[in-house]
């Protein structure tokens, strides 16, 4: 009987390697974080800097971005004020990032707005448009601009978008417009993964459940909060750092064969 030859990738022994730390492969890689001054965004910036990456931290001008600028190490972190709704400026934003930090390896689009209305009858056309514009439209156009830059560089890359638990639940009452924008992010992410896969670019979304950030507490009342806690098997909100570490994983070499996925980071609230 003949046996097939072992391929190089088939392990033939235990290899103990010092380079498989959680941020494996991110040293000096350039990552743009859009929505960097928020609860999860600032945790992502911190986690990426800890992993040795060079970070472009992008958000709206304001006190939160000023605080980020004051605390970030200048030589490895460029803090840039930019309204992501201005999609015509996405190409020049990427050029600015590459000019100051180097070729783009990763994009994390974490920016979003949530308008929790008491009921569907309270949702206005402006609510629908603004949430779609920031959460979905800007995510598509910035991902496409990043994809073009990564293809130009020819070294592959990583794109991470932000969905939500709400994409599966449909949201609560008047947050249906937000939920719909996040459902769109999941579909868009799958489509971009199929488009960019042949270029070695992975595209995944992270779908948090309930995270202790300013967004979570927006329009939240105690009864709703207690009801949510009862549905989370882990019995608590996530800390922003617990979501940031998933983003670092997706950007790292550890996740080189994951694409088109939506990662469930809901403490067991969702079971897909
Ligand atoms: N906090 C939660 O419980 C939760 C749950 C599920 C999903 N998410 C998702 O996680 C991501 C991060 O949420 P968070 O809780 O950190 O929210 P956050 O409100 O703390 O941060 C969002 C950031 O996006 C920025 N932003 C909004 N509009 C922008 C624009 N036009 N241009 C540039 N920046 C803009 C804001 O300034 C803010 O810094 C979002 O996509 C959100 O939908 C959060």
pLDDT band at 177 (very low <50, low <70, confident <90, very high): very high
Is residue 258, in this structure, part of any structural domain at all?
yes
Instruction: Supply the DSSP symbol for 91.
Output: H
Atom 18 of ligand 1, nearest CA residue: 38
Is residue 196, in this structure, part of any structural domain at all?
yes
Is residue 11, in this structure, part of any structural domain at all?
no
What CATH code is carried by the domain that includes residue 53?
3.40.50.720
CA distance 188 to 260: 9
CA distances from 134 to 70, 94, 224 (A): 26, 18, 25
Is residue 3, in this structure, part of any structural domain at all?
no
Distance of CA 51 from the midpoint of ligand 1 (Å):
22
Q: Annotated catalytic, 178?
A: yes
Task: Give the pTM.
Answer: 0.95
Number of structural domains in the chain? 1
Q: Which of 168, 263, 253, 265 is nearest to 210 (CA)?
A: 265
Mutate to test the pocket of ligand 1, among 43, 82, 111 (most ligand atoms within 8 A of CB): 111
Mutate to test the pocket of ligand 1, among 61, 142, 208, 263 (most ligand atoms within 8 A of CB): 208
Is residue 20, in this structure, part of any structural domain at all?
no
Atom 39 of ligand 1, nearest CA residue: 38
Domain that holds residue 149: 30-265
Strand order in the sheet with 104-109: 77-81, 54-59, 30-34, 104-109, 157-162, 201-208, 262-265
Distance of CA 11 from the midpoint of ligand 1 (Å):
42
CA distance 31 to 19: 20
Is residue 45, in this structure, part of any structural domain at all?
yes
Q: Average pLDDT, whole number, for the chain?
A: 94
State pLDDT tens for residues 10-19.
666 776 666 6
pLDDT band at 38 (very low <50, low <70, confident <90, very high): very high
Mutate to test the pocket of ligand 1, among 64, 140, 215, 246 (most ligand atoms within 8 A of CB): 215
Is residue 23, in this structure, part of any structural domain at all?
no
**H-type alpha helices, 106-174:** 125-132, 138-153, 166-169
Which H or E run includes 203? strand 201-208
Q: Which of 178, 196, 225, 272 is catalytic?
A: 178
Is residue 114, in this structure, part of any structural domain at all?
yes
State pLDDT tens for residues 70-128.
999 888 999 999 999 999 999 999 999 999 999 999 999 999 999 999 999 999 999 99
* Ligand 1 pocket by Cβ (under 6 Å): 35, 37-41, 59-60, 64, 83-85, 110-113, 134, 162, 164-165, 208, 210-211, 213-216
State pLDDT tens for residues 183-227.
999 999 999 999 999 999 999 999 999 999 988 998 888 998 999
Q: Residue holding tokens 């809901």?
A: 266
């Amino acid at each position: 009987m003949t046996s097939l030859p072992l391929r190089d990738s088939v392990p033939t022994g235990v290899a103990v390697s010092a380079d498989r730390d959680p941020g494996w492969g991110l040293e000096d890689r350039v990552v743009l974080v859009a929505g960097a001054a928020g609860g999860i965004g600032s945790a992502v910036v911190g986690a990426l800097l800890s992993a040795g990456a060079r970070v472009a931290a992008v958000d709206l001008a304001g006190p939160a971005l000023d605080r980020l600028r004051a605390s970030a190490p200048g030589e490895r972190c460029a803090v840039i004020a930019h309204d992501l709704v201005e999609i015509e400026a996405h190409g020049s934003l990427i050029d600015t990032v590459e000019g100051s930090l180097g070729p783009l390896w990763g994009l994390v689009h974490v920016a979003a707005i949530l308008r929790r209305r008491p009921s569907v009858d309270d949702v206005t056309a402006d609510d629908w448009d603004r949430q779609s514009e920031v959460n979905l439209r800007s995510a598509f156009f910035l991902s496409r601009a990043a994809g073009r830059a990564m293809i130009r560089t020819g070294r592959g890359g990583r794109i991470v978008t932000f969905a939500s638990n709400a994409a599966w639940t449909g949201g609560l009452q008047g947050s249906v417009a937000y939920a719909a924008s996040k459902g769109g992010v999941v579909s868009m992410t799958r489509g971009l993964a199929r488009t960019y896969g042949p270029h070695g670019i992975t595209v995944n979304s992270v779908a948090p459940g309930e995270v202790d950030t300013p967004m979570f507490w927006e329009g939240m009342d105690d009864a709703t909060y207690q009801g949510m806690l009862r549905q989370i098997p882990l019995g608590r909100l996530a800390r922003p750092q617990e979501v940031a570490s998933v983003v670092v994983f997706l950007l790292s070499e550890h996740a080189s064969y994951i694409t088109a996925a939506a990662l469930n980071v809901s403490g067991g609230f969702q079971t897909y």
